[in-house]
Amino acid sequence: MPSSFPLLGIDIGGTKIAVCLADSSGKILGNERIIGGSQTRYEETLPRMVELAHKLVADAGLAMADIRACGVTSPGPVDLAKGVIIRSPNMPWRNVALRDDLARELKRPVFFDNDANAGMLAEWVFGAAKGAQNALYVTLSTGIGGGVVTEGRILHGVNGNAGEIGHVVLDINGPKCGCGMSGCWEAYCGGLNVMKRMQAQFGGNPDHPVMRLPEVGGAPEKLGYPALIPAAKAGIPEAVAMWDEICLRTAQGLGVMIMTYNPEVIVLGTVALHAGDFLLNPVRELLPRFAWSESSRPCRITTSALGLHIGELAGPAVALNGLNL
């Protein structure tokens, strides 16, 4: 890699937008978030992203001309060739030409990828999958996505939507997913769907032990993984049953991925970071039900090395990959 140089990254999430200035070694020089930005009109949010990018560059004592490139990440489905967000189950934007709009406003090269591919690139360039030739990254967040490196290259597919593993159907009779299908991995384990399921089961009963947890404090809007994990650890039966199903479905999903891609490492993000072995141990125990030992034994399953910084470093990693560095 050439001597260190600055890069911008913009990560579009379901509930926030992260704008990051980093160098090519992965050192974060500055970052800020636009909370709720992806839930407002695109025409209102685009200028805010551009303004924040200019602010971070100026605060670092740099000029925009010093920025080698900008990497942009977004939930899928996307049209990678055109740099367009087609739609997302978790945000209202439709058919927005984000890559070209940002390139015009920033006057810098802009490279675009979906968020799960970008997470894979960040872990591959800077984190837990560094040096791997065959690797998988799985987001376990508001939704579930994935990124795949195979034989030393990120896998994009025909139009940039390879790795949408959260929408692999695990049970055709399963719950409805935000994507329109039923029984997707995300329908069982995506954070938004877990929150909705908990609200339906516990939200109407303020005396339920789950509702009395300090993490909840009787507020149904606080239900979700941050409440489910301590509730299951506390042995609350309904929470334990829900957690057991999440572990089972996660093992099932990972088993499909292992049998399909035969990776040497799988990196799990977000929820797995908070749950740690409480998730990893049962998933590893359940995995033989869904994958051959010949494929699963050489596969290391671990949590993100970048932790909460993966959203910031995903964009710079996309920029580096676009520059072929």
Q: How many Å apart are CA 319 and CA 63, to the nearest integer?
A: 18
Residue 270: count of CB within 10 angstroms of its CB: 22
How is residue 302 annotated by DSSP?
Answer: E
Which residues of the chain have a pLDDT value below 50?
1-2
Record the tokens describing residue 87, joined without a space.
């739609």
Superfamily covering domain 130-304? ATPase, nucleotide binding domain (3.30.420.40)
CATH topology for the 6-122+309-322 domain? Nucleotidyltransferase; domain 5 (3.30.420)
Q: How many Å apart are CA 7 and CA 109, to the nearest integer?
A: 10
- Give the pLDDT of residue 325: 65
**Residue 195 contacts residue 174 (beta carbons within 8 Å):** no
**Residue 173 contacts residue 183 (beta carbons within 8 Å):** yes
Of 146, 144, 93, 97, which Cα lies nearest the Cα of 118? 146
What are the pLDDT digits (tens) for 247-305?
Answer: 999 999 999 999 999 999 999 999 999 999 999 999 999 999 999 999 999 999 999 99
Domain boundaries, the chain: 6-122+309-322, 130-304
**Residue 269 contacts residue 137 (beta carbons within 8 Å):** yes
Directed axis angle between helix 277-286 and helix 237-261, to 10°? 60
- Give the pLDDT of residue 104: 97
**Residue with structure tokens 């489910």?**
228
**Residue 110 contacts residue 90 (beta carbons within 8 Å):** no
- Give the pLDDT of residue 89: 66
- Give the pLDDT of residue 292: 98
Residue 288: count of CB within 10 angstroms of its CB: 13
Q: How many Å apart are CA 176 and CA 193, to the nearest integer?
A: 9
Directed axis angle between helix 98-106 and helix 42-59, to 10°? 40
**Residue 15 contacts residue 35 (beta carbons within 8 Å):** yes
Pairing assessment for the beta strands 70-74 and 28-35 based on DSSP bridges: unpaired
Query: Which residues are within 8 A (CB) of 121 and not within 5 positions of it... i.e. 6 or more apart?
Result: 113, 147, 154, 314, 317, 318, 320, 321
Q: How many Å apart are CA 142 and CA 225, to the nearest integer?
A: 10
Q: How many Å apart are CA 285 and CA 3, to the nearest integer?
A: 44
Q: pTM of the prediction?
A: 0.87
**Residue with structure tokens 């995903």?**
314
How is residue 26 annotated by DSSP?
Answer: S
- Give the pLDDT of residue 1: 45
**Residue 267 contacts residue 127 (beta carbons within 8 Å):** yes
- Give the pLDDT of residue 80: 87
Residue 197: count of CB within 10 angstroms of its CB: 18
Report whether the peptide linkage leading into residue 77 is cis, meaning its omega lies within 30 degrees of zero. Answer: yes
Q: What is the CA radius of gyration of the chain?
A: 20
